[in-house]
Chains A and B, each alone.
Chain A
Amino acid sequence: MNLTLKIWRQKDANDKGQMVDYKVTDISEHMSFLEMMDVLNEQLINTGEEPVAFDHDCREGICGMCSMYINGEAHGPDRGVTTCQLHMRMFKDGDTITIEPFRASAFPVIKDLVVDRTSFERIQQAGGFISVNTSGNTQDGNAIPIPKKDADDAMDAATCIGCGACVATCKNSSAMLFVGAKVSQYALLPQGRVEATDRVQNMVAQMDLEGFGNCTNTGACEIECPKGISLENIARMNSEFMKANLKG
């Protein structure tokens, strides 16, 4: 298929940036979206133009590095996938595809489609852990039985890949699905309960400091999340946060 691409080009963080049109031809429907971008870049290199910078790494939907906003949707039109798993069979010959970076004030653009997500790092550093030394001298892994449902729910929350699609999708640029997932994972497990109060307070405080917006329960994040992280995690975080504040 032949396609027109409208791509955000921005030289560096200080550049104003603009949309630029490109054409690609003979794109196979079996290609992934990023393989289509590879074709474009090879074409640009061979014609002496600078290729489009974009983040990507594992190309199997788990590292969370890829981050494009395609035709107005984080990770494009398919559901339950990251951009690297999006395939060209989702598009038609002759389509025009708009490709932008994830946009949020807490995710400044570094170059072209590459954004800086270190705000997520700082939220995790504020409390996204259990304070246990890595000596290995802990109790036996089976010492505390954990109900299967709690373990499964914790796993579902922990499956977040930290890509930031929730933020890019949210009209308020809220990070509550991301933070809620981490808070939930630990809140659901007995090991995580010990520090639950401090954790939720510290992570929420850091989230606010980074300039992420608030949640107004639209639910778009849940739909666009490539890993299907549930809104329940936001509810659980809110409940944990209220409990923590009552404790003081």
Chain B
Amino acid sequence: MALDSKTPKGPLKDKWTSYKNNIDLVNPANKRNIDVIVVGTGLAGGSAAATLAELGYNVKAFAYQDSPRRAHSIAAQGGINAAKNYQGDGDSSYRLFYDTVKGGDYRSRESNVHRLAEVSANIIDQCVAQGVPFARDYGGMLDNRSFGGVLVSRTFYAKGQTGQQLLLGAYSAMNRQIARGKIEMFNRHEMLDVVKVDGKARGIIARNLITGEIERHSAHAVVIATGGYGNVYFLSTNAMGSNATAAWKIHKKGAYFANPCYTQIHPTCIPRSGDYQSKLTLMSESLRNDGRIWVPKNMEDVMAIREGRKKPTDLSEEERDYYLERRYPAFGNLVPRDVASRAAKERCDAGYGVNATGEAVYLDFKSAIERYGKEQAKLKGINNPSADKVYELGQAIVEAKYGNLFQMYNKIVDEDPYKTPMMIYPATHYTMGGVWVDYNLMTTVDGLYCIGEANFSDHGANRLGASALMQGLADGYFVLPYTIGDYLSSDIRTGKIPTDTKEFDEAEKAVTDQINFFVNNNGSKSVDYFHKKLGKIMWEKVGMARNEKGLKEAMAEIKAVREDFWKEVNVPGTADEMNPELEKAGRVADFLELGELFAKDALNRNESCGGHFREESAETDGPQKGEAKRDDANYAYVAAWEYKGQPADAILHKEELEFNDIELKQRSYK
């Protein structure tokens, strides 16, 4: 099947407007006869469910957690971008579009990104109207901060809990519709397959996670909003339950999976401390507004610090290597995430890591605390303040900005980051790749949509900070409600979709068979045993730097782990009860397939772009020496994979990317 992005004709800036003017609409009376299933209730799913219900569709929403409010969007810290230009610093929709395409290393679809930038400003207005308590300045106006990869301040925030507040906003909009009976909410339910009838998505099979009951749900369209697949690495900043099952199941039913190798390794996470570690914790990128990243210049100091003979605060300015400021003077500590992560890896690989594992660098707030302290002293009219007074005043400002993050760090690491620099190291955080969708956010299966992190569309090969929240809400509030209506307008005479059909029978049987297999297998190893093995292969061979040899080995090793899993996995308990191990088994089974496709995609893409760094493709000389080298002549396409039974057999379909409004350039942050 040839990929058709269905991008509207016409100038870039007019595409979305003219699209909206020309689509078919469904009249309000007919909407009452149309059902839509939304799987996942994070920012994308929650906002979509609320808006579709508000428009009049009957929505069934599904979440594996006990409440929609607990979806992992809640953990996003730093902020949400919007081209409001409240700061008058030269921002515009075009600049947001440009920054996003450039930040994504020219591997995203122009038309989708431009639409995202266009609707971004409305998100802020919408959220303010919903009562989201964004930070404000003393004049009562909305405040902004800066994020990596841009030269303007366009990030709106609510302390370090922006994701929480935006999700609670979407959740409140959902609650309003649940109260009206327009959303039927299924908490503690997990989608285990999609049901296709005559080539169209017409329902799902779900498991009630309390009773174990397998349920059939039908609808005229199905929306997948289940987030990313970062947990393929076992350790990531994702929630423990975050999984790729819905996305992978639809892939196996015909939805192409795009660019799985584009994964974001976030530069500022708390380093791992031991084998028992169950997850990694992010420290918001917003900290890079005020924190400076460094390692010692001299190896003697590195060893002294590791052995506890010296403290980081003992080192003078001359003894520190602020390597981001050194390598990238224009953007400094605010280079994009992929660049910052690789730079940290480069220093640690060279032996300059500052903790026992050798995998940590410092994030230091001393300069910021002193700068703010001096400013405050001046504002308060204190002449010749003591160093302690300056520090005290400055600390209060830093605390107001990042207090919850500092507290979180203190609780985990048991060190006070106001007194000693934080230790950080990159960790898997976000997946830019995902289910392929067209301009309508529809997958290659009719009536099957995919929104938010679960799709591939807007961030190219690298996502800029504070853009995930923007995309999730844009898709759910402002894009899908239009595009899905155009599709559903042909379904007004269809009537209710029955669930007592052979398509539902078959899908349910496959789900039940797999569950029965797991609970009866009586293998010798736990689900986590396999998940950790997979994670280790992914991190070592498909992590921050990749090469042909490693990727080929990874594919073979993942296949071997998968085969062992299906022989030896041990799932205690039964199918007809709450059984967390059974839930995990199904998710890990899917990760064991996705991981191999991930490595295959990374192997195919013999260029470095964004979060995907191939060691074979780096600049060898000149001012950009060592930086990633893109290959636009051969790889300016979206790699969309079609499932053919085994991940290694997947067939590549290319969507060539056209850049009419942007000139492709080497991404330089120097």
Residues of A within 8 A of B (CB): 11-12, 28, 30-32, 34-35, 38-39, 42, 44-46, 48-51, 53, 55-65, 78, 80-81, 85, 87, 89, 110-111, 114, 116-118, 120-121, 124-126, 128-142, 145-148, 151-152, 154-155, 158-159, 161-162, 185-186, 189, 191-192
> Which residues does chain A contribute within 8 Å of B65, judged by CB atoms?
57, 63, 65
> Which residues does chain A contribute within 8 Å of B72, judged by CB atoms?
57-58, 63
- Nearest first, the 10 closest Cβ-Cβ pairs linking A and B are A145-B140, A136-B122, A129-B172, A138-B129, A155-B133, A141-B128, A154-B133, A57-B239, A63-B70, A125-B179
Instruction: Tell me the minimal C-beta distance from B198 to chain A in angstroms.
Output: 32
- A134 contacts B126, C-beta separation under 8 Å: yes
- C-alpha spacing A148/B124, complex, angstroms: 17
- A131 contacts B75, C-beta separation under 8 Å: no
The answer to whether B34 has its CB under 8 Å from any CB of chain A is no
Which B583-640 residues have C-beta < 8 A from chain A? none
- C-alpha spacing A170/B159, complex, angstroms: 29
Q: List 22 A-B contacts (CB under 8 A).
A: A12-B577, A30-B274, A44-B572, A45-B526, A45-B570, A62-B164, A63-B75, A87-B411, A111-B577, A111-B578, A129-B175, A130-B129, A130-B172, A136-B119, A138-B126, A139-B125, A145-B141, A151-B136, A159-B164, A161-B164, A162-B69, A191-B130
The answer to whether B168 has its CB under 8 Å from any CB of chain A is yes
- B277 contacts A35, C-beta separation under 8 Å: yes
> Which residues does chain A contribute within 8 Å of B259, judged by CB atoms?
none
**In the complex, which of the residues A58, A118, A152, A162 contacts B187, with contact meaning CB atoms closer than 8 Å?**
A118
The answer to whether B161 has its CB under 8 Å from any CB of chain A is yes
Which B46-102 residues have C-beta < 8 A from chain A? 47, 50-51, 54, 65-67, 69-72, 74-75, 84, 86
Instruction: Identify the closest chain B residue to A112 (Cβ).
Output: B578
- C-alpha spacing A133/B47, complex, angstroms: 11
Instruction: Tell me the minimal C-beta distance from A156 to chain B in angstroms.
Output: 9
Instruction: Given A81-B411, A129-B172, A192-B131, answer yes or no on A55-B66 (Cβ-Cβ < 8 Å).
Output: yes
The answer to whether B137 has its CB under 8 Å from any CB of chain A is yes
Instruction: Tell me the minimal C-beta distance from B118 to chain A in angstroms.
Output: 11
> Which residues does chain A contribute within 8 Å of B171, judged by CB atoms?
124
Instruction: Given A63-B70, A120-B67, answer yes or no on A134-B50 (Cβ-Cβ < 8 Å).
Output: yes
B259-289 vs A, CB cutoff 8 Å, 1 = contact: the mask equals 0000000000000011011110110000000
Instruction: Given A59-B240, A114-B578, answer yes or no on A159-B130 (Cβ-Cβ < 8 Å).
Output: no
> Which residues does chain A contribute within 8 Å of B84, judged by CB atoms?
141
> Which residues does chain A contribute within 8 Å of B86, judged by CB atoms?
142
> Which residues does chain B contribute within 8 Å of A185, judged by CB atoms?
131, 133
Of B133, B175, B408, chain A has the most CB atoms within 10 Å of the CB of: B133
- A58 contacts B239, C-beta separation under 8 Å: yes
**In the complex, which of the residues A59, A60, A110, A141 contacts B142, with contact meaning CB atoms closer than 8 Å?**
A141
The answer to whether B565 has its CB under 8 Å from any CB of chain A is no
Instruction: Tell me the minimal C-beta distance from B68 to chain A in angstroms.
Output: 9
Known contacts A64-B69, A64-B70, A111-B578; 10 further A-B pairs (Cβ under 8 A)? A38-B276, A44-B572, A58-B240, A59-B279, A63-B65, A63-B70, A85-B412, A140-B125, A148-B138, A154-B131
> Which residues does chain A contribute within 8 Å of B277, judged by CB atoms?
35
The answer to whether B351 has its CB under 8 Å from any CB of chain A is no
- A49 contacts B572, C-beta separation under 8 Å: yes
The answer to whether B414 has its CB under 8 Å from any CB of chain A is yes
Instruction: Given A30-B274, A145-B141, answer yes or no on A132-B130 (Cβ-Cβ < 8 Å).
Output: yes
The answer to whether B528 has its CB under 8 Å from any CB of chain A is yes
- A189 contacts B240, C-beta separation under 8 Å: no
- A53 contacts B176, C-beta separation under 8 Å: no
Instruction: Identify the closest chain B residue to A49 (Cβ).
Output: B572
The answer to whether B151 has its CB under 8 Å from any CB of chain A is no
- A141 contacts B124, C-beta separation under 8 Å: yes
- C-alpha spacing A232/B54, complex, angstroms: 34
**In the complex, which of the residues B50, B75, B175 contacts A62, with contact meaning CB atoms closer than 8 Å?**
B75
Instruction: Identify the closest chain A residue to B70 (Cβ).
Output: A63
- B412 contacts A87, C-beta separation under 8 Å: yes
> Which residues does chain B contribute within 8 Å of A44, judged by CB atoms?
572
> Which residues does chain B contribute within 8 Å of A132, judged by CB atoms?
126, 129-130
Instruction: Tell me the minimal C-beta distance from A25 to chain B in angstroms.
Output: 13
- B128 contacts A191, C-beta separation under 8 Å: yes
The answer to whether B498 has its CB under 8 Å from any CB of chain A is no
**In the complex, which of the residues B136, B159, B581 contacts A45, with contact meaning CB atoms closer than 8 Å?**
B581
- C-alpha spacing A135/B130, complex, angstroms: 11
Instruction: Given A87-B414, A131-B176, answer yes or no on A38-B161 (Cβ-Cβ < 8 Å).
Output: no
> Which residues does chain B contribute within 8 Å of A11, judged by CB atoms?
577
> Which residues does chain B contribute within 8 Å of A60, judged by CB atoms?
75, 237, 279, 281-282, 408
Instruction: Identify the closest chain B residue to A65 (Cβ).
Output: B70
The answer to whether B178 has its CB under 8 Å from any CB of chain A is yes
B405-420 vs A, CB cutoff 8 Å, 1 = contact: the mask equals 0011001101000000
The answer to whether B12 has its CB under 8 Å from any CB of chain A is no
> Which residues does chain B contribute within 8 Å of A139, judged by CB atoms?
125, 129
Instruction: Identify the closest chain B residue to A190 (Cβ).
Output: B131
> Which residues does chain A contribute within 8 Å of B581, judged by CB atoms?
45, 51
Instruction: Tell me the minimal C-beta distance from B65 to chain A in angstroms.
Output: 6
> Which residues does chain B contribute within 8 Å of A136, judged by CB atoms?
119, 122-123, 125-126, 477-478
Instruction: Identify the closest chain A residue to B407 (Cβ).
Output: A80
The answer to whether B580 has its CB under 8 Å from any CB of chain A is yes
The answer to whether B158 has its CB under 8 Å from any CB of chain A is yes
Instruction: Tell me the minimal C-beta distance from B179 to chain A in angstroms.
Output: 4
- B276 contacts A51, C-beta separation under 8 Å: no
- C-alpha spacing A147/B411, complex, angstroms: 32
- C-alpha spacing A114/B579, complex, angstroms: 11
Of B66, B142, B178, B281, chain A has the most CB atoms within 10 Å of the CB of: B66
The answer to whether B165 has its CB under 8 Å from any CB of chain A is yes
Instruction: Tell me the minimal C-beta distance from A246 to chain B in angstroms.
Output: 24
> Which residues does chain B contribute within 8 Å of A87, judged by CB atoms?
411-412, 414
- A58 contacts B577, C-beta separation under 8 Å: no
Instruction: Given A136-B478, A142-B142, answer yes or no on A110-B133 (Cβ-Cβ < 8 Å).
Output: no
- B122 contacts A124, C-beta separation under 8 Å: no
Instruction: Identify the closest chain A residue to B278 (Cβ).
Output: A35
- B187 contacts A142, C-beta separation under 8 Å: no
> Which residues does chain A contribute within 8 Å of B131, judged by CB atoms?
130, 154, 185-186, 189, 191-192
Instruction: Given A30-B274, A57-B240, A158-B165, answer yes or no on A117-B66 (Cβ-Cβ < 8 Å).
Output: yes
The answer to whether B573 has its CB under 8 Å from any CB of chain A is yes
Instruction: Tell me the minimal C-beta distance from A150 to chain B in angstroms.
Output: 9
- B66 contacts A155, C-beta separation under 8 Å: no
- C-alpha spacing A50/B142, complex, angstroms: 52
> Which residues does chain A contribute within 8 Å of B75, judged by CB atoms?
58, 60, 62-63
The answer to whether B497 has its CB under 8 Å from any CB of chain A is no
- B526 contacts A117, C-beta separation under 8 Å: no
Instruction: Identify the closest chain A residue to B571 (Cβ).
Output: A45
- C-alpha spacing A136/B161, complex, angstroms: 22
The answer to whether B173 has its CB under 8 Å from any CB of chain A is yes
Instruction: Given A78-B411, A114-B578, A155-B158, answer yes or no on A134-B572 (Cβ-Cβ < 8 Å).
Output: no
Instruction: Given A42-B526, A59-B278, A63-B70, answer yes or no on A138-B128 (Cβ-Cβ < 8 Å).
Output: yes
> Which residues does chain A contribute within 8 Å of B240, judged by CB atoms?
56-59
> Which residues does chain A contribute within 8 Å of B74, judged by CB atoms?
58, 62-63
- C-alpha spacing A176/B173, complex, angstroms: 22
Which B152-184 residues have C-beta < 8 A from chain A? 158-159, 161, 164-165, 168, 171-173, 175-176, 178-179
The answer to whether B385 has its CB under 8 Å from any CB of chain A is no
- C-alpha spacing A23/B278, complex, angstroms: 20
Instruction: Identify the closest chain B residue to A140 (Cβ).
Output: B125
Instruction: Tell me the minimal C-beta distance from B356 to chain A in angstroms.
Output: 11
